[in-house]
């Protein structure tokens, strides 16, 4: 459900089921939708994305009310809920489809994402390891198949992400 005051943010941080779950917990998040972005074809199916043959990342597009939660607040959740130093891998999920990425929607999001990445890198949270998170322009968002939406809740499963 979209409102005129809502905004969008798009993040890739490993398997989209856990990413969707942790964003849905945030007050001010109106919706979180699993999908695919950043690939080289016009349409993607999960079977192809999972094989790593399309170039897409599993992402979550977050619709939020900026009067309640800011893009910077969402960035903070993003950084804390995955390993941004792990290239093309989160836990047991390996491949470019699980890369750490922020797809910015406008120049302001780009600037905020870059500043946030720098601040997080300087925080020492990951020691001397370099953050490999991409910050790239928004591309076509392909909504994932319905069975992926709200997957953990539908299947009464715990979150597959932990706060780092």
Catalytic residues: 15
CB atoms within 10 A of CB 47: 9
| Pairwise CA distance, residues 133 & 79, whole Å | 10
Q: How distant, in Å, are the alpha carbons of 6, 88, 89 from that of 100?
A: 24, 7, 8
DSSP percent split of the chain into helix, strand, coil, nearest 5: 30, 25, 45
């Amino acid at each position: 459900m979209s409102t005129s005051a809502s905004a969008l943010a798009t993040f890739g941080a490993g398997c989209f089921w856990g990413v969707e779950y942790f964003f849905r917990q945030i007050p001010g998040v109106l919706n979180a939708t699993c999908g695919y972005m950043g690939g080289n074809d016009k349409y993607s199916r999960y079977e192809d994305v999972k094989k790593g043959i399309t170039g897409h990342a599993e992402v979550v597009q977050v619709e939020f009310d900026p009067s309640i939660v800011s893009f910077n607040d969402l960035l903070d959740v993003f950084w804390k809920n995955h390993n941004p130093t792990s290239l093309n891998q989160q836990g047991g999920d390996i491949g470019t489809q699980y890369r750490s990425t922020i797809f910015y929607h406008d120049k302001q999001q780009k600037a905020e994402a870059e500043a946030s990445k720098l601040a997080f890198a300087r925080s020492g949270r990951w020691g001397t390891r370099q953050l490999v998170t991409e910050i790239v322009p928004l591309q076509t968002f392909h909504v994932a198949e319905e069975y992926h939406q709200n997957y953990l809740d539908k299947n009464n499963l715990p979150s597959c992400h932990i706060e780092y």
